[in-house]
Structure 1
Amino acid sequence: MMREITHGDICAAARVLMARPRDSWPRVMAALLAHAHCADCYRKRCGKVHPQLGNGTLMAAALACHPVACPRPSDRAYLDAIGAAIGAVLDWRAGRRRPVLRVLDRRINGAQARKRDI
């Protein structure tokens, strides 16, 4: 499991979603979560931050994807993106991951984890 999810992680992921078409949000979130998980496994095993995937937080994975600037908290699109990010985290925690991204769980070294999936 990746590192604990914080409010900042959710906000950073939502800002990444806002830069993408809505129909891609589930795929983008699944990739962000998988990358954070792989990076955390690498960090635990090797004792250092993964060179491409970061420190194992959702925020590190999101910030690597150049999120949009922080919008107003009342922005409807931002609230929708926060809802989508929370839903994806809940699905991830419940084990409802996309099958193709389960492969990334096995590729802990990160060499095969592709940033272009995001």
Structure 2
Amino acid sequence: MRPVLHGDISTAARALLAAPLADRDQLSTLLISEAELADQHVARTGRLHPVYGNGSLMAAARSRPLADEPSFDDLQYCQCFEMVLLKLIRFQIKQSRS
């Protein structure tokens, strides 16, 4: 996966916010997997992945419906933002161990 910036996190959180509550945990994991898959595709072929884009988390998230970006007064948005951060931490720990 390409380096993760603030916009990647907020876009992924917006994708989670647009999804049903029961689907968010699985979707957050899936978005990271799709970004990683796309990054590997770009490295191998030199071309964008046809669905997930350039290997960024933002591009993977943009392949799904996005909620309008709320402010941090929105508790559900904060929870989605936190979920993305926690999944990224787990992903990075897993990558550093392998």
Q: Which residue of 1 aligns with 2:32?
A: 33
TM-score w.r.t. the length of structure 1 is: 0.75
Counting matched residue pairs gives 95
Q: Which residue of 1 aligns with 2:79?
A: 80
Q: Which residue of 2 aligns with 1:12?
A: 11
Q: Which residue of 2 aligns with 1:95?
A: 94
CA distance in 2, matches of 1:56, 1:95: 18
Percentage identity across aligned positions?
33
Deviation at 1:23, TM superposition (A): 2.9
Give the secondary-structure state (helix, strand or coil) at the position aligned to 1:83: helix
- Which structure has the highest helix share of the two? 2
CA distance in 2, matches of 1:64, 1:44: 20
Q: Structure 2 unaligned runs (5+)?
A: none
CA distance in 2, matches of 1:90, 1:25: 17
Deviation at 1:93, TM superposition (A): 1.2
Deviation at 1:25, TM superposition (A): 1.7
18-27 or 73-82, larger mean C-alpha shift:
18-27
CA distance in 2, matches of 1:74, 1:63: 23
Could you tell me which amino acid in structure 1 is paired with residue 29 of structure 2? Answer: A
Coordinate RMSD, CA, aligned: 1.4
TM-score w.r.t. the length of structure 2 is: 0.89
Q: Structure 1 unaligned runs (5+)?
A: 97-118
